[in-house]
Every structure is written in structure tokens, then in C-alpha cells.
Amino acid sequence: MITTFTDLILRVVLSYILSGFMGSVGIWLSWPIGWTIAALLSFRFYAKGIWKKML
């Protein structure tokens, strides 16, 4: 849930920033960039084993 929310916030912020430089291409690029960062955060969360303590 945290990474999904992070992905959403990143996509909105990156869309705003990148659209100024690249136009609509920047908006489209914000999606894979945000998704990649969220995926890396998910992997880090899984690798650290924090989820084991939550169960």
C-alpha cells in the first residue's frame, strides 16, 4: 500500500515536472519511472523482511 501511494505521488509530481521540459512525452514517461521506483521500494521492503514482523 505504501509503494502504491508512493507510485501515485511520484507519477503526479514527475508528470508536472517533466511536462515542462518534454511536453506530453514527459507525462507518459512519468508512469514507467514512478512504477520502477515503486517496484524497487517493494523489493527493498521484501528483501529486508519487514513484512515478516507485520504478520
* Residue 7, number of CB atoms within 10 A of its CB: 20
Average pLDDT over residues 7-20: 90
Cβ neighbourhood burial of 30 (10 Å; 0-12, 13-18, 19+)? buried
Write down the pTM of the prediction. Answer: 0.72
Distance CA 23, CA 53 (A): 44
CA atoms within 13 A on the CB side of 20: 5
Domain boundaries, the chain: 2-44
Q: In this predicted structure, what is the pLDDT of residue 17?
A: 93
Whole-number pLDDT of residue 46: 83
Mean pLDDT confidence for 13-38:
90
Residue matched to cell numbers 521484501: 46
